[in-house]
Structures are given as structure tokens and as C-alpha cells.
């Protein structure tokens, strides 16, 4: 007998497998309208540029008390999944009467015809949690984009980007269009920036969506994707105003008034303090009073020397300079002549 299964809860994957041509998107929990059993369905997406024909996974389902209810492998065969398409949401990998709280999925092998890509050795990367928009901003963004379900703030990371619908698109997908809601990432960011502009002047508005991508979150311990039911709507949170940057006031230095020259102090003994007033004489402590200001001592102007003044030693130097050269030449000539006569006539 056929049985209809109705959706009970849906949770997106909180991790992804870098470099894989297929990504785990979400887990959905269904409940039969007759038997009341729970069926687990997994959704995957082809982010490559080729058609996928098969996929092998390993999954683990846990109950409320953390006990593993089922751990097994599952194969999706005879597929013709084109690039950007979702698949697997119609196939139940596990059916149980017990409540399921979390599902852990590991990609094993993916096939493209006879070609196979082994994914067992790739370490999964934890995704940062998406930021929820305020209800007023959510409604305004949905009206501007003419779509529903835009609950989250678009974010750009080093390893991918979040759409407002909550879908994560890794860098391997290489697209600016969301394959689930159809939003354009650039138009979505511009629409949100326009809605945030009235909160602050245009020259002070920061553009968080155009900021550089935040560093990728480090690989953490792999945790299963937890399944949660429909939670009540969160209370309206006030829209956060951007931080205003105010420059420090500039102060112009004022000219300091001319301060009197500090005067030295001197200590008076008891004999000098005696003639002071009664109140001052009654004070037996040592009092310090300034001394009288001394008149500045003027330095005499320098006396300029007469340029025509002549030293007596200049005449002696002039005489030496005049007569020493000729006398020296005569003496040298006489010595040379004596030597010549001696060698010619004596020897």
C-alpha cells in the first residue's frame, strides 16, 4: 500500500567538500500519514560542468539520546544530473519509527559515465552560520527582489558565498546566480545596500557586502547536520546602525602669554623674620619668599680694531722675504765656484 509522506523538518548542510563536483545541500525529514514513520531524504547538487550519472555516499542517523539508529552506504544510480541541478530529494535513504535529530553524510564516489572521482580522502570544511535578517528588512528585501524566503544576509567568503535564501555556493561552482532561488548576487547586494542607506548618511555608510572576503574558517571536527523543526518566528531585532566615524577635533595652538622670568628663592632665618607681621611671626616654620629681581648686567660693546693698525713685526718679515732669496743664491754660487776651482787646479 502506497503512503504519503509529508515534510516535517528541513535543515541545510553546515559543511561542504572542497574540490568535489557534487555538494551535499540539505537533509529533509518526512513523516508518513498512515504509519507515522520518519523517512530521511538527502539533497545534492551538481556544481561541475559535466553530467553526473551516479553517486555513492555514507550516512549516519542519530536519535534523540545520541544513539546511532542507522549507519550505512547508499547509492544513487542511473542519474542524468546536469550542471546546477539538484537530485536525491525524492529517494529515502532510511525509514524508522523513532525520532531523528541529526544526520551525518560523507561523499564517497561520484561518476560521470565511466569516469569516477574518489572523495573519501577529502576533508570536509565547516561553514560559518548565516546571519538572519530582521523581519522588517526581510520583507523589504523580498518585495524589492520579488521573491520569498530571503531570510539571511548575503555574505561573501574566501571559499564561496551565501545567498539570501540560505544556499551556499562554493567557489568550485563559479556562478553569481543562485540555483535555488534564482537571485543574482550583485543585484541582491545592491538591493540590500539601498535598503540600509536611510539608516546613516551616504558619506558615512559602510558597505559590508563589498568588503574583502573573510578568511575561510579552519577545518573543524566534523559534526552531523542537525535536524530542527519549524521554530517560532524570532522577535523583531532592531536594525543595527553602522558605526559612525567622527574625526578628532583640530585645535590650533594659542600663543602663550609672556611669563615673567622665574626668580630664585632664598630662606630667611629667625632674625630676619622678626620684623614681619604678627601672623607671619607666629609661624615658626621656614618660609620661602622670592628675592628681589636683579637688574640685568649689560655687556660692553666690543671695540672694533683699526684696520690701519700695523704690527712692528710686519716690517721684519717683509725684510726677510726681500733679502733671504738673493743672499741664498749668492752663497750657493760661491760654493759651486770654489768647488770648481778646487777640482781644476788643485787636483
CATH code where residue 24 lies:
2.60.40.3230
pLDDT at 32: 86
How far is 274 from 289, CA to CA, in rounded Å? Answer: 14
* Pair 192, 139: CB distance under 8 Å: no
Helix H or strand E segment including 126? strand 125-126
120 and 163, same structural domain?
A: no
Is 121 part of any domain?
yes
Spatial strand order in the sheet of 155-157 = 155-157, 160-162, 168-170
Number of domains in the chain: 2
Is 285 part of any domain?
no
146 and 72, same structural domain?
A: no
pLDDT at 210: 47
How far is 267 from 261, CA to CA, in rounded Å? Answer: 19
Is 314 part of any domain?
no
pLDDT at 242: 45
Q: Which of 88, 100, 86, 87 is nearest to 39 (CA)?
A: 100
Is 345 part of any domain?
no
pLDDT at 241: 45
Is 165 part of any domain?
yes
CA triple 142-144-146, angle to 5 deg: 60
Taking each continuous run of H as one helix and of E as one strand, the counts in the chain are: 5, 17
106 and 74, same structural domain?
A: yes
Q: Which of 147, 103, 41 is nearest to 163 (CA)?
A: 147
pLDDT at 237: 47
* Pair 170, 47: CB distance under 8 Å: yes
Q: By 3-state DSSP, what share of the chain in percent is helix, strand and coil, each rounded to 5?
A: 20, 30, 50
How far is 196 from 152, CA to CA, in rounded Å? Answer: 14
DSSP label of 345: I
How far is 152 from 164, CA to CA, in rounded Å? Answer: 5
Is 266 part of any domain?
no
101 and 59, same structural domain?
A: yes
Contacts of 143 (CB under 8 A, 6+ apart): none
178 and 140, same structural domain?
A: yes
* Pair 87, 44: CB distance under 8 Å: yes
84 and 50, same structural domain?
A: yes
Which residue(s) pair with 26 in the sheet?
Answer: 12, 43
DSSP label of 197: G
99 and 162, same structural domain?
A: no
* Pair 51, 80: CB distance under 8 Å: yes
pLDDT tens track, the chain, 347 positions? 567 888 888 888 888 888 899 999 999 999 888 888 889 999 999 999 999 999 999 999 998 888 899 999 999 999 999 998 999 988 999 998 888 888 999 999 999 988 999 998 888 889 888 889 999 998 999 998 998 889 998 988 888 888 998 888 888 888 888 888 889 889 988 998 888 886 545 444 444 544 444 444 444 445 666 665 544 444 444 444 444 344 444 444 444 444 444 444 454 455 544 444 444 444 444 444 444 555 555 655 554 544 444 555 667 777 788 888 889 889 999 998 888 888 877 76
144 and 57, same structural domain?
A: no
* Pair 37, 92: CB distance under 8 Å: no
20 and 87, same structural domain?
A: yes
How far is 159 from 171, CA to CA, in rounded Å? Answer: 6
The range of the structural domain enclosing residue 175 comes to 135-196
Amino acid at each position: 500500500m502506497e503512503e504519503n509522506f509529508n515534510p516535517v523538518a528541513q535543515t541545510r548542510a553546515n559543511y561542504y567538500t572542497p574540490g568535489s563536483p557534487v555538494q551535499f545541500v540539505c537533509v529533509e525529514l518526512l513523516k508518513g500519514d498512515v504509519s507515522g514513520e520518519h523517512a530521511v531524504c538527502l539533497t545534492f547538487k551538481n556544481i561541475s560542468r559535466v553530467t553526473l550519472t551516479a553517486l555513492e555516499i555514507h550516512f549516519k542517523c542519530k536519535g534523540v539520546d545520541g544513539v546511532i539508529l542507522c549507519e550505512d552506504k547508499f547509492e544513487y544510480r542511473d542519474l542524468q544530473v546536469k550542471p546546477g541541478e539538484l537530485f536525491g530529494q525524492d529517494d529515502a535513504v532510511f525509514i524508522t519509527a523513532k525520532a531523528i535529530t541529526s544526520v551525518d553524510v560523507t561523499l564517497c564516489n561520484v561518476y560521470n559515465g565511466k569516469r569516477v572521482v574518489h572523495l573519501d580522502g577529502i576533508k570536509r570544511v565547516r561553514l560559518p552560520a548565516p546571519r538572519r535578517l530582521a523581519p522588517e528588512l526581510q520583507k523589504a528585501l523580498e518585495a524589492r527582489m520579488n521573491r520569498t524566503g530571503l531570510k539571511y544576509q548575503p555574505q561573501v567568503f574566501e571559499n564561496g558565498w551565501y545567498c539570501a535564501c540560505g544556499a551556499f555556493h562554493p567557489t568550485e561552482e563559479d556562478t553569481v546566480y543562485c540555483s535555488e532561488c534564482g537571485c543574482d548576487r550583485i543585484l541582491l547586494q545592491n538591493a540590500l545596500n539601498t535598503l540600509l542607506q536611510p539608516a546613516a548618511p551616504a558619506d558615512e555608510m559602510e558597505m559590508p557586502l563589498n568588503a574583502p572576503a573573510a578568511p575561510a574558517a579552519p577545518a573543524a571536527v566534523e559534526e552531523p547536520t542537525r535536524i530542527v523543526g519549524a521554530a517560532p518566528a524570532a522577535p523583531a531585532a532592531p536594525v543595527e546602525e553602522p558605526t559612525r566615524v567622527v574625526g578628532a577635533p583640530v585645535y590650533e595652538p594659542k600663543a602663550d602669554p609672556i611669563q615673567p622670568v622665574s626668580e630664585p628663592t632664598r630662606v630667611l632665618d629667625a632674625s630676619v623674620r622678626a620684623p614681619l607681621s604678627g601672623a607671619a611671626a607666629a609661624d615658626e616654620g621656614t618660609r620661602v619668599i622670592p628675592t628681589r629681581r636683579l637688574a640685568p648686567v649689560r655687556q660692553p660693546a666690543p671695540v672694533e680694531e683699526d684696520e690701519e693698525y700695523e704690527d712692528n713685526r710686519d716690517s721684519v718679515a717683509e725684510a726677510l722675504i726681500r733679502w733671504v732669496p738673493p743672499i741664498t743664491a749668492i752663497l750657493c754660487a760661491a760654493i759651486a765656484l770654489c768647488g770648481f776651482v778646487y777640482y781644476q787646479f788643485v787636483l
